[in-house]
Structure 1
Amino acid sequence: MAIITAHPAIAQLPIRDPHTPGYVTATELPDGVNPSPDVDGNFILGPTHPPAPESTGVPQGTIYHFTMASKDSKIYPGIARDPNTFGTVDPADPARLIVTTSHPAPYSRQVTVYVPKQYVAGTAAPFIVGADGPDNLLFTVLDNLIAEGKVPPMIAISIGNGGGDAQGSQRGLEYDAMNGVYAEFVEKEVLPLVESKCSLRLTRDPSGRATMGGSSGGSCALIMAWYHPELYHRVLTYSGTYVNQQWPYDPSTPHGAWEFHEHLIPEGPVKPLRIWMEVGDQDLFNPNVMRDGMHDWVVANEKMAAALAAKGYSYQFVFARNAGHVDHDVKKQTLAEALEWLWRDYRR
């Protein structure tokens, strides 16, 4: 879904209580306090969200920009959904959306790369891949954390999406599809350009590779690592779209990313993943025509936390009070701690 970065729109959405029956048991922290990067588990923040000191300042590393065009991609030639159209619910299956207004269309995307001043030329660097770029806050926070020695000197690769949103769009095809295609696109078409245009080397070690994103970019971050754990072991998500939004329909995962907490995590073997997640108390709830019981972002993230705990995953889950969808204030408060937690066991 589209990212909401300000508070005014969230008043129209229900406010969820983190102590609701069926939600995970969580530790309520004093207002303004983040959970320690040394612990796993479930935590409640808010209602105010002061920015972390690491979220301010101007990055001292180097920022590179380049553009990728759909005509140069062998994996994503480009699609778009007609303006002001969405889709219709399959009368035989309320969990399936039929989209007839999607068609081939060109796109271009921006790629922005942060290289810390501590990077040693010629060495294979750890890195984090982020969706819906550019993410200037990520660059600032990393710059401060690296200088403080709290995370390793790493490259940040912030990739713009191919346009549109949800079913039938290029962004939806990239981020919501339950397969490894987007990770393969990044591996085969984005990372080689990053290495050549920025004159650097990226590690091939999955423990030195992370993914992150918000909303559908968040579910994409987990999808990348889930289907390619040989490429990524670390995942960071804000308001992850762990709901039924996949398109085209795939019978192997009929409920889209809802399948993560419904079947894939509970019934599958534990994968070598480390996962940080956040959701807001006023996050998205049934924002479209599908009434399949699988479009509540808060419930989806609560179910994710429960599924990860039951399987023994290393994870940290933050429930933010007074917060909307991919809430920018919450991100400014928590991103530094989240990155420190995500990388705390990294050994170079």
Structure 2
Amino acid sequence: MSDEVPYRPLPLDQADVRYAHGPDSLPQDGVRAGETIELEWRDSTIYPGTHRKFWIHVPAACDPAEPASLAVFQDGWWYLDPEGEIRGGVVLDNLIGHGDIPATIGLFVDPGVFPDRAEPKNRNEEYDAFDERYVNFLLTEIIPQVTERYSISDDPARRLICGGSSGGDCAFTAAWLRPDVFGRVIGFLSSFAQMPGGNPYPALIPEVPRKDLRVFLQAGHRDLYWNEPKWNWLAENLRVAAALAEAGYDFRLVLGDGGHSPNHGGVLLPDAIRWIWRPAEGE
């Protein structure tokens, strides 16, 4: 049976489009709000000297007796803030409360900062790098703070990593390098264009055996440098999507209007998670 999509007129100006959030991004009557724990991490051995906050969000519908799925979000508070564009905790509460996805605990991790430096942010160093430091940081330093409190599935098909902009290529890199840990990826407006040394994925994806990944990408017609020959965020996302398609991956690309804003990704998040957690054929 085909899905019928309501008609919507195309905007003439693609630069200043704003998408309206749907009901799954708003607190709903009859859905209990989950519990959120705020923690700090100041003892990193992988990123020495950095401080950061992170949040564990446990939807009320999660059964503590059963291992939960895990969804890790970069740019933690931006993605958790119930008044922001993404509203990850609200979305998880609603989707789990309505039985749309399995019980899933959200882990929202801020990028590190150096409190004593004039330029304190370590975000690009952590997120844009093409190496295993960040995924190892999650596995050895942050995720254990979750697993010591809650039961989490070890199945990579039940572990999602999500991010936007630099957090998007960070999420993809973490899953690409460790598909045995993260089998599901969501990337919004991913900053493949600014990875040091260039975007490796269009050439790399077809060259290696297909990995057991399911990938949701969102790109924007008017993302950064969208009509320039270099540093083109739109073009680099399209190249990654084309490589995934040609290599036979289970992936989905949604292309929207607007600039480098988290708005469209936030509006898409409920459906992106539904698609990510959908059962495999035959299940």
Return the TM-score normalized by structure 1.
0.69
Corresponding residue of 2:133: 181
Matched, 1:278 2:218: yes
1:195 Cα shift? Answer: 2.8
Would the aligned equivalents of 2:218 and 2:265 in 1 still touch at CA under 8 Å?
Answer: no
Confirm whether residue 57 of structure 1 aligns to residue 27 of structure 2: yes
Residue in 1 aligned with 2:163? 213
More strand by percentage = 1
1:254-311 alpha-carbon deviations (Å, 9 max, x no partner): 42xx1111x111222111110001111221118xxxx9x5410000111111111101
In 2, the alpha carbon distance for the partners of 1:181 and 1:29 equals 44
Instruction: Give secondary structure in 2 for the equivalent of 1:201.
Output: coil
Distance 1:29 1:183 in 2: 40
1:206-239 Cα deviation digits (max 9, x unpaired): 1110100000000000000000011011000110
- Which of 297, 313, 332 aligns to 2:249? It is 313
Which position in structure 1 is the counterpart of 2:72?
129
Q: How many residues align?
A: 259
- The amino acid across from 2:137 in the alignment is F
Aligned to 1:96: none
Task: Within 5 Å, give how 1:219-258 maps onto structure 2.
Answer: 219-246=169-196, 254-255=197-198, 258=199
Specify the alignment match of 1:73 in structure 2.
Answer: 44
Unaligned runs of 5+ in 1: 1-27, 34-45, 78-105, 247-253
Residue 97 (structure 2) aligns with = 147
- Runs of 4+ aligned residues of structure 1 deviating over 6 Å after TM superposition are none
Q: Which residue of 2 aligns with 1:259?
A: 200
Q: CA deviation at 1:245?
A: 2.6
Q: Could you say what secondary structure the match of 1:275 adopts?
A: strand
Q: Is the 8 A contact 1:119 1:153 kept in 2?
A: yes
| Conserved 8 A contact 2:164-2:262 | no
Q: Distance in 1 between matches of 2:111 and 2:210?
A: 30
| Cα distance in 2, alignment partners of residues 245 and 305 from structure 1 | 17
Give the residue type in structure 2 aligned to 1:335.
L
- Aligned mates of 2:160, 2:142 — CA distance in 1: 15
CA 1:122/1:74 → structure 2, altered by over 3 Å: closer, same or farther?
Answer: farther
Tell me, which stretches of 5 or more residues in structure 2 are unaligned? 11-15, 81-86, 115-119
Give me the CA root mean square deviation.
Answer: 2.7
Q: Secondary structure at the match of 1:129?
A: strand
CA distance in structure 1 between the partners assigned to 2:150 and 2:121 by the alignment: 33
TM-score (norm. length: structure 2): 0.84
Q: Percent identity?
A: 31
Indicate whether 1:334 and 2:273 are aligned: no
Q: Rg larger in 1 or in 2?
A: 1
